[in-house]
Structure 1
Amino acid sequence: MNNSQFDKIKNGKGFIAALDQSGGSTPKALAEYGVPESAYSNEEEMFDQVHQMRTRIIKSPAFNADQILGVILFEQTMDREIDGKYTADYLADNGIVPFLKVDKGLADQENGVQLMKPIHDLDETLSRANERKIFGTKMRSVIHEPSESGIKAVVEQQFEVGKRIIAAGLVPIIEPEVNIHSENKEKSEEILRDEIAKNLDKLAEDENVMLKLSIPTKANMYKELIDHPRVVRVVALSGGYSRDEANEKLKENDGLIASFSRALAADLYADQSAEEFDAALKNAVDTIYDASVNKK
């Protein structure tokens, strides 16, 4: 593990950018960027298009290590290059810590939750991640209802996989997202907080994780998790909130920083000039950074 990167993620001021749209969500991300499905004829061309989008974001002067602590990458992005360097190397050389999305998507909803699909090639992926100088990983589950047994299953699966990631020398970002449209969102968050705390208490002193959580309904709901000695950092997903709404909610939570995807790229379009693109990205970065470091 890179100790300087660990210190930056644990103590640095800023946020983590999520550029990890996978095969299922890439067409929508490209469409929102202004690249319709008619612009590519197969999956390879689709991933070429999204890598161009991500490269444009990463190379923008608005995308800087003073405000952005790390970036979550999709597996194909990890294996591609920016200016002749593997993407993670390019980021690290510019002072930004690279993470990798390792989950394979969600299983069907059952018992109020969606577990992760099996990650059959996890060990091989983690080995490649180490070769590509990845610092940590991310994996996502979704909670729809306040089912105690369902949420317990989600958290236990996340920590079970997380321990394998730790054993490979990486820091896992555990992401049990609570659906922001859930009618009982706050109750789900209470159950989730308690289940995560139980699993954190079982970790050894040399086992550390990060958490990526929906911004809670009740401000500072996750403060005890943020303060837990086994937690490197707690980051928040935008989860479908607009950037302004996500930023306002984020400001109410001490110690919680952003890890936004859609809210980061919402105003970026393929047909913008370099000046327009960089200005739109700068506005997004500035406001998300402010919400991450300046609290009410």
Structure 2
Amino acid sequence: MKYGKLIKILVIVFVLPFLIIISQKYQIKVINSQTGWRINVDAKQAKIKSQIKTPKRMTATNTIKAMVEVNGLNVRKQPSLSSSVIGILNAGTKITINEEQSGWAKVETSSGEMGWINTNYISIETATNHKTQPVSGSTTSNESIQNNLESLKGKTIVLDPGHGGNDVGTTSIVGTYEKTLTLATAQVVEQKLEKAGANVIMTRTNDTFIPLEQRAGLSNKNHADAFISFHYNCFNAPSINGVTDFYYQNSKDSALATDLLNKIVKTTGLNNDGTKFDDLDVLRNNSRPCTLIELGYLSNKQDDSIVETSAYRDQVAQGVYLGLLDYFSSQKQDRLS
């Protein structure tokens, strides 16, 4: 009897408060207001959840956004000039870059077209923080693509906007003076090259006439790495069109003229009328590598409708930039060989 009372007292003192706490924690009200009980699974579920690792989403490619800068950019099946062309992109086309390999980018357009294009003809817009999966040992990033567009740092480039002042040059079929177009073009090229690190010198910066010997003299005085004179053409046969440029001394000038013309034709989409010799004052009196470029025929309706646009000047600037990269790269290789 004494032991029974003792047990009851122990139950009341120690066990009952614990049961009350348990009942308060796990007692619930059901729909009919009756009291019910729920199983204590919180701790177990928490333990299970802690053991489950949320899988990370693996991204095989990153999503670098870019835009095509030229018209008629070939999309190829493989990253090679010898690969078949499977499409063409024009300036302003938005693309997503998935992979990069030795100056080529595997891209996808908003319409779902996929293929490889040369990174020299695109500009990077934005990029996500995703990492890329290397392809053939290469990497894909803003930096790797932009590094393909080499710097012109340390190069002195003299740009010569043809004509000026009382020398208006030729006149377009809509009445625009050649001198106006050459200055506007050279100014856009100037901005492009300075952005790439070049030291750019303009023979004229406004509507002023500069004697031809002074233009060549400015190139000689500053030991220019390249002298480029900008002009627009005219012919009495309105069907004649295209872009051409000239050199005076083959060994000194023809490589520069050829590299610039090839890239300008590629970025503008105008016909290639070839590189030719001509005995021009700004070339003959120039001891530095030099060329004079005729950037289309103002007498041709189709050429004129293109060359008088700001978009065309941007394309010319891109072509000059890329042509100079090719030229200086080949000069460096010749010195090393």
Normalising by structure 2, we get a TM-score of 0.26
Normalising by structure 1, we get a TM-score of 0.29
Higher strand share: 2
